[in-house]
Amino acid sequence: MTTVGEFMTTRLVTMDGNDTLIAAAQEMRDSAIGDVVVTDGDSVVGIVTDRDIAVRGVAENMDPGSTQLNQITTRDVITVSQYDDVVAAADLMRTYAVRRLPVIDDGRLVGLISMGDLAVEREPQSVLADISADDPNN
């Protein structure tokens, strides 16, 4: 069995729900990532993607400089364990129509696994795997 822990990303960026959309967008730009995990202390409360900032924030005329992540955060995040099978993780992504799953161990955030990570593992010749394995170009 191939586990989530073998393919998860451990280079995580977390932000507080009181941080602004601009702060999150700048962090995503600077870290060349597409999401931040929103936390309250050590607890994961949600996730915000670059698309969330554009669609739930900017497109709704929210001021990116004053709007807080809590206002657009996706809550009720589906999580997995680093010991879970990657096939089970892929099934969860398909079932819940999500592209990323935080990886939790004993209630603590230890990683993130994405659709791209799974594509590299399960379909290494696919276009998604090729794009996901390449260095960012932005």
**Tens digits of pLDDT across the chain (138 residues):** 789 999 899 989 999 999 999 999 999 999 999 999 999 988 899 999 999 999 999 999 999 999 999 999 999 999 999 999 988 998 999 899 898 999 999 889 999 998 888 775 555 443 333 334 444 433
Share of the chain residues as helix, strand and coil, in percent rounded to the nearest 5:
40, 25, 35
Q: List all residues 6 or more positions away from 36 whose beta carbon is below 8 Å from its beta carbon.
A: 13, 14, 15, 24, 27, 28, 47, 48, 69
Can you tell me the distance from the alpha carbon of 137 to that of 126, in angstroms, rounded to the nearest whole number? 19
pLDDT score, position 43: 87
In this structure, which CATH number among 3.30.70.260, 3.10.580.10, 3.30.450.40, 3.40.47.10 belongs to the domain 4-133?
Answer: 3.10.580.10
Predicted TM-score (pTM) of the model is 0.81
pLDDT score, position 116: 81
Comparing CA positions, the residue from 105, 39, 96 lying closest to residue 115 is 96
pLDDT score, position 133: 43
CB 135 within 8 A of CB 31: no
pLDDT score, position 123: 55
pLDDT score, position 132: 42
- 57 secondary structure, DSSP code: I
Q: List all residues 6 or more positions away from 81 whose beta carbon is below 8 Å from its beta carbon.
A: 4, 103, 104, 105
Comparing CA positions, the residue from 13, 11, 41 lying closest to residue 28 is 13
